[in-house]
């Protein structure tokens, strides 16, 4: 990759001394192991090592670091848990990686308001383990144990988004350090507000390019009293995806509605994590205040599935079976990696309006087949999100080119259906070429916002707008 001379990729001894004086000697490293650990997320994108990693533990330390980096034109890339799937925290231009791991405190829980104040380095699973003792949870659930800062910055979502929303729907206030070092606090604790520009949501999905999030007030939900799960198997993906539209059109909002194609079901069955008919399936979860409510929803959904040709509907699954199903669903990627030894994966993340979901799934299958590729189609079907997972052979340029071509064709098709290049993984590296197609002239407004908040382009350069554009 071309080097951007405007940036200082490798820190000077003076810079290292300065950073050390801010965070303390024990919390800065240029050791290869630390640099390599912060050179790559969980995506298939190429690694790039930073010049230095720092682990601050307060907003004041971050303020001081950013002020200095801004004056010196040193790139700063925030780092949460490094579980992104689109290269989002890869420090493309070296410089400083700012790892928020030490800022992992729950600051205050307000059960009566269903709210929690947290530091941004806290991992959401750790937070939910603590909140569960008070009957509360933060609903967005990316499979990996992501940090709250990383979830906010990528607007992460997950299996329960259908009922509870994405990360952006569950955040009320933020504390953010801007590139200049200025600290701002935005948002209120009220459930709604019409007060001025919505700066909270400006930072959601900004992938560390507009500021470093240091604290957040999150909206929580009560742990459901009653829940139930169902597995609906269908002879074809068309039947399964038509049933998705039917369920969503019925007025019922399941807590989760996931689609797995035949190849994925077969791989999960072979791993021993799932025992389902060898057919495409929908995995559905219901939450309700009463048993009667659960039974009613289950019965309506079963009727819809039957009308759409469902060949087997296993409903009313208890906690043990339900936990096992979700464990299999959350381990899907790892299981597919194990069942394709020697392969890497292009991990996709398109989303479309729900009525076009069947067309998207059919088209993804066609694009794979046209290139002689095998792939897996998995998705948060209830919100129109599909993750085609396409194996390729690392080091084999032809194999990668084919997988990449299928990826590009599917993304373009999703956008042409009124959808998006990324439902939840963010723009990172792989989706920046589609930003113009998706956003048209509003991309210029995004550029103007970036130039206002980060005029020297030091924050996570190369992301959102692409390489060569701070």
Ligand X SMILES: Cc1cc2nc3c(=O)[nH]c(=O)nc-3n(C[C@H](O)[C@H](O)[C@H](O)COP(=O)(O)OP(=O)(O)OC[C@H]3O[C@@H](n4cnc5c(N)ncnc54)[C@H](O)[C@@H]3O)c2cc1C
Residues making contact with ligand X (CB under 6 A):
41-42, 77-85, 88-89, 100, 120, 142-144, 146-147, 149-151, 153-154, 156-158, 207-208, 212-213, 333, 424-425, 460
Cα–Cα nearest to 423, from 348, 350, 360, 358: 350
- Distance CA(189)–CA(172), nearest Å, equals 6
Give me the least distance between CB of 73 and ligand X, in Å please: 18
Q: Quick one: which of 69, 103, 83, 75 has its CA closest to 37? A: 83
Q: Taking the complex as a whole, how short is the minimal distance between the CB of residue 235 and ligand X, in angstroms?
A: 27
Q: CB of 87: closest distance to ligand X in angstroms?
A: 9
Return the number of the residue (208 or 382) whose C-beta is nearest ligand X: 208
Beta bridge partners of residue 259, listed in sequence order: 282, 379
Q: Phi and psi (nearest 5°) for 61?
A: -65, -40
With H, G, I as helix, E, B as strand and everything else as coil, classify residue 313: strand
Q: Of 150 and 384, which has the nearer Cβ to ligand X?
A: 150
Q: Name which of 367, 379, 252 is nearest 303 in CA terms.
A: 252
Nearer to ligand X, 281 or 298 (CB): 281
The minimum distance between CB 156 and ligand X, in angstroms, equals 3
Which CB, 50 or 315, lies closer to ligand X?
A: 50
Distance CA 309, CA 238 (A): 10
For 100, list phi and psi in degrees, rounded to 5: -90, 10
Dist CA 243 CA 310 (whole Å): 9
Minimum distance from residue 206 beta carbon to ligand X (Å): 7
User: Which SS3 state, helix, strand or coil, does residue 234 take?
Assistant: coil
Q: Give the Cβ contact number of residue 225 at 10 Å.
A: 12
Task: Read off the tokens for 224.
Answer: 């459901």
Give 403's Cβ-side CA count (13 Å radius): 23
Sign (positive/negative) of CA torsion 321, 327, 333, 338?
negative
- Shortest Å, Cβ 100 to ligand X: 5
Backbone dihedral angles phi then psi of residue 242, each to the nearest 5 degrees = -65, -35
CB-nearer residue toward ligand X: 233 or 422: 422
Shortest distance in whole angstroms from residue 174 CB to ligand X: 9
Q: Which is nearer to ligand X, 330 or 371 (CB)?
A: 330
Q: Which is nearer to ligand X, 214 or 241 (CB)?
A: 214
Q: How far is the CB of 406 from ligand X (least distance, A)?
A: 21
Closer residue to ligand X, CB minimum distance, 333 or 392: 333
Q: Within 10 Å of residue 412's Cβ, how many Cβ atoms?
A: 16
- Shortest reach from residue 458's CB to ligand X, in Å: 12
Say how many CA atoms lie within 13 Å of 161 toward its Cβ: 22
Which position's Cβ is nearest ligand X?
150
Both tokens assigned to 307: 């009308």
Compute the least distance from the CB of residue 159 to ligand X, in Å: 7
Give the CA radius of gyration of the chain. 22
Please give the C-alpha separations between residue 79 and each of 76, 102, 404, in angstroms, as whole numbers: 10, 11, 27
Q: Which is nearer to ligand X, 153 or 411 (CB)?
A: 153
H/E stretch holding 79: strand 76-79
Tokens 């700012």 sit on residue: 98
Residue 408 beta carbon to ligand X: minimum distance, rounded to whole angstroms: 21
Cβ-count burial 301-315 (b if 16+ within 10 Å, e if not): bbebbeebebeebbb
- Which pairing describes strands 171-177 and 183-187: parallel, antiparallel, or unpaired? antiparallel
Residue 428 CB, nearest approach to ligand X (Å): 7
Note whether 88 and 208 are within 8 A (CB). yes
């Amino acid at each position: 990759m071309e080097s951007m001379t405007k940036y200082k990729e490798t820190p000077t001894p003076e810079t290292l001394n300065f950073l050390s004086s801010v965070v303390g000697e024990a919390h800065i490293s240029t050791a290869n192991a630390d640099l390599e650990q912060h050179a790559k997320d969980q995506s298939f994108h190429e690694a790039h090592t930073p010049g230095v990693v720092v682990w601050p533990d307060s907003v004041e330390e971050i303020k001081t670091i950013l002020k200095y980096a801004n004056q010196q034109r040193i790139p700063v890339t925030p780092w949460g848990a490094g579980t992104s799937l689109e290269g989002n925290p890869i420090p493309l231009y070296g410089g400083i990686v700012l790892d928020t791991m030490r800022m992992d405190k729950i600051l205050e829980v307000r059960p009566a308001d269903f709210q929690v104040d947290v530091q941004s380095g806290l991992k959401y699973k750790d937070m939910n383990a603590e909140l569960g003792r008070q009957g509360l949870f933060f609903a967005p659930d990316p499979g990996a144990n992501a940090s709250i800062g990383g979830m906010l910055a990528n607007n992460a979502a997950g299996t329960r988004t259908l009922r509870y929303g994405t990360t952006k729907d569950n955040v009320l206030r933020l504390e953010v350090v801007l590139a200049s070092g200025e600290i701002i606090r935005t948002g209120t604790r009220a459930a709604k507000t019409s007060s001025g520009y919505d700066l909270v949501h400006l930072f959601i999905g900004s992938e560390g390019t507009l500021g470093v999030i240091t604290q957040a007030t999150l909206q929580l939900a009560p742990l459901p009293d009653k829940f139930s799960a169902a597995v609906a198997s269908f002879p074809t993906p068309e039947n399964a995806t038509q049933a998705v539209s039917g369920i969503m059109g019925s007025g019922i909002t399941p807590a989760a509605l996931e689609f797995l194609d035949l190849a994925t079901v077969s791989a999960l069955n072979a791993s021993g994590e799932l025992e389902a008919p060898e057919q495409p399936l929908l995995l559905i979860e219901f939450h309700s205040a009463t048993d009667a409510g659960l039974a009613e929803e289950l019965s309506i959904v079963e009727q819809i599935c039957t009308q759409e040709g469902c060949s087997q509907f296993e409903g009313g699954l208890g906690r043990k079976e339900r936990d096992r199903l979700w464990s299999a669903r959350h381990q899907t990627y790892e299981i597919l990696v194990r069942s394709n030894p020697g392969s890497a994966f292009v991990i996709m993340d398109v989303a479309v309006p729900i009525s076009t979901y069947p067309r998207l799934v059919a088209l993804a299958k066609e694009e794979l087949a046209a290139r002689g590729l095998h792939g897996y189609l998995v998705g948060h079907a209830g919100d129109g999100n599909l993750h085609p997972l396409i194996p390729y052979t690392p080091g084999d340029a032809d194999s990668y080119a084919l997988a990449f071509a299928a990826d590009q064709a599917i993304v373009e098709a999703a956008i042409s259906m009124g959808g998006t290049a990324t439902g939840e993984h963010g723009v990172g590296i792989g989706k920046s070429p589609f930003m113009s197609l998706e956003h048209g002239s509003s991309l210029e407004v995004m550029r103007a916002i970036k130039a206002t908040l980060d005029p020297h382009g030091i924050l996570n350069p190369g992301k959102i707008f692409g390489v060569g554009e701070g």
